[in-house]
Structures are given as C-alpha cells and as structure tokens.
Amino acid sequence: MTQLVLKPGRERSVLRRHPWLFEGAVERLDGRAKSGDTVTVLAADGRALGRAAWSPESSIRARMWSFDPNEIIDDVFFKRRVAAALARRAALPELAGQQGLRLIHAESDGLPGVICDRYAETLVFAFSSAGADKWRNAISLAVQKATGCTRVYERSDADLRTLEGLGPRCGWLHGDLPEEGVVIEEHGVCMEVDVVAGHKTGFYLDQRENRLLTRTLSKGRRVLNCFCYTGAFSLQALAGGAPRVLSLDSSGPALEAARRNLARNPQLDATRAEWREADVFEELRALRAAGERFDLIVLDPPKFAPSPAHAERASRAYKDINLNAFKLLAPGGLLMTYSCSGGVGIELFQKIVAGAALDAGVDARIVRRLTASADHPVLLDFPEGEYLKGLVCAVG
C-alpha cells in the first residue's frame, strides 16, 4: 500500500480531522500512486492516521476519505457514506417533501469533491477532485440506487477541476432530459432547472429558506431583486404579496428563463413584475438618479472572491452595490445582502456592509443573520465549508 508521509508536526490538522493535506505538509510518497488513488497517511513518526485520495497536480495533495487507517476504500465504503448523507437529511423535518435538495455536500458529508443535487427525479453530480473523479461511477450508482431516481446528469465542469489536472466532463449518465424539462416546486412556486447549462448544478438550492424569508417579508413592499438569475427570489416576493418587483440581471437568457418561470405560475400577478436586462452596478446608480425607492432590496451577487487572494477587489465590489442599495431604500426599508465568496469571511462581509451604510448616510441594524439551507451542512472540523453568509439590515 502506498504511503503518504507527512513532515514533522504536520499531522496536527489530520488529528483535528480536517480533510485537506496541502503540498507543504507532505514529506514524501513511499510507493507509486496515480491521480485519485487511495494512499495511507502517516505521521513523521510512522503513526498511521487515515486513508486519503492522492492528487499530485493540486496544492491540496490529498483529501481524507477516512480517519481510520484500517478502513477499506471501495464500493461498499461509498455506499455507507451515501446512506449516511441521505439519513442526515431524512432526519430534518424542514427538508421533508422538498423536490430540490442537496443530497451530498462534499467534505461536510465525508465525500470530498462530491456534490449531488436532486431535482425531482433527476440527480445532478459534480465531481471536482481527483479522488471523487476516480470513484464517480461507484458514487453515482450508490445514490441512484438509494433514491430510485430515473435520470442522472454529470456537471463536472467547475474550474476547480483544472487545479486537479482534470478536464471538464458533462453528460447524461443515465436516462435523458424529459420533454417538459426539469421542473421543481419550491414553497408553492414552480421553477425550471437547466441542469445542462444553468449555474452550478442548475439552481441555487442553498438559498431555499432565504427565499421563503423573502416571501414572508414582501407583503406590501416594493421589491428590487438584483442579480436575479432565473427569478426565484422575485417569484417568492410576488407570492408574498409585493405590489411591485423589479428584477435586474445582465444575462438575457437568464431573464427569458425567469419570464418562463413566471408563466409557469398563473397564481402570480405578472403585471406586478418587471424584468430588466442591465449591468447591476450601473443600474443601481441609474435608479438613484431617477429618484426610485424600494422597501426591500435583495443583493445576491455571483462569487466575487473565490479565494482570500481576491478579497480586496471583491470588497470594493460588495461595498459599491451595498452602498447604492442603502441609498435606494425607503425609510424603514430592508436590505437582504449576501456573499457566497469563500474568500470573504462573515466578519469582513459585515465590516464591508457597515462601511457602505456609513458612506450612504443611513442608520442600519442587523435584524437577521442568514446562511445556507439545512441540506448544506458545515462540518465543524471544516469551517471552509461555510461559504454563504447573509444579513438582513433594517434602515431607520
């Protein structure tokens, strides 16, 4: 068995059960291993610490499969991990009956580099690490058998694969796209999911409960939804009784999908919705110049900082949109602002939003802190898994 030997003192992260081993922690590899192969991790003194997937192209040289050095990594191992992930979600009442659900959340479910989202009877997988890629067939088959889903699509096209020395891979592993497309119902609202070309695996499941909160806050409020994508926040605002919802996005195709989603929901009053293709940064300034005011603003931008190295530039972008949003809020208004950037922690994000409020000349208070839905758990030993953070700020 090939052994990965760590430098003296570098076993501490493994003993704390952190799943990543970086290049700088590795002393040597005893034996041969191809990308994705399983290796036994040893401390410098020879203590066996666990089993990991070897990734020679990545700065993360190995990802821990197990902290039991005697555990066999095979098809049965992955069946157990899949069953445990599904059981965690089955134990949470708020996830019962959800048609859109994250079933496997990578490291936080003990499966580094593996994402699996369920949309009705369709499973969508994303394999982003060398180890996950090697075991993709065993993992996808285990989930399909456990769920009984009839369609399986792979969306292994994230940039992270390049860092692992892997190329993109997309396509149907089982079944085909249904004639009516993939459609789910979320809190009484129907949404189409583009599993082939949509963002992430086709939809933002991590914002499910935050969209429901938007619905409960929207009654009687004029709503501005920025970076609206296919309109999920917007439709929940309409369902909640917003008299007007203006939705902004720079993508024409995304807005066309949003209009189709609205049409799928005849119970919603389409005359209260406006979809506007625009650069959000510029449009926020144009709305200010036009004297517009809103009672509830949603800022859910794309990832501005994928790593801490991008944090400074991202901070300027977050400051810009939040400052202009504060200036557009009517007295007593609410700002729901988010960051999905792993390189921007919650403390920095709150500092940015506070600076925006100060420069906007408003008094604002945090009335809620928001995070990802419960099907996106965060392993306590892996804080890097907590990427989505949000604040609800009240003005006045």
Rounded Cα distance, 86 and 83, in Å? 5
- How confident is residue 307, by pLDDT bands cut at 50, 70 and 90? low
Residue 270 has pLDDT above 80, yes or no: yes
Q: Is-above-0.85 flag for pTM?
A: yes
Percent of the chain whose pLDDT exceeds 70: 99
* CB 154 within 8 Å of CB 162: no
CA–CA distances in Å: residue 163 to residues 47, 62, 139, 166: 30, 13, 22, 7
What 3-state class would DSSP assign to 218? coil
Domains of the chain: 3-66 (2.30.130.10), 75-182 (3.30.750.80), 204-395 (3.40.50.150)
Question: Could you list the active site residues?
Answer: 340
Mean pLDDT of all residues in the chain? Answer: 96
**What's the Rg (C-alpha) of the chain?**
22
Q: What is the DSSP letter of 383?
A: G
Identify the residue with better confidence: 307 or 97. 97
| Residue range 51-87, pLDDT digits in tens | 999 999 999 999 999 999 999 999 999 999 999 999 9
Residue 310 has pLDDT above 80, yes or no: no
| Residue range 161-218, pLDDT digits in tens | 999 999 999 999 999 999 889 999 999 999 999 999 999 999 999 999 999 999 999 9
What 3-state class would DSSP assign to 339? strand
Residue 141 amino acid letter: L
- How confident is residue 343, by pLDDT bands cut at 50, 70 and 90? confident
Residue 102 has pLDDT above 90, yes or no: yes
What 3-state class would DSSP assign to 8? coil
What's the confidence (pLDDT) of residue 69?
Answer: 97
Rounded Cα distance, 127 and 125, in Å? 6
Residue 1 has pLDDT above 90, yes or no: no
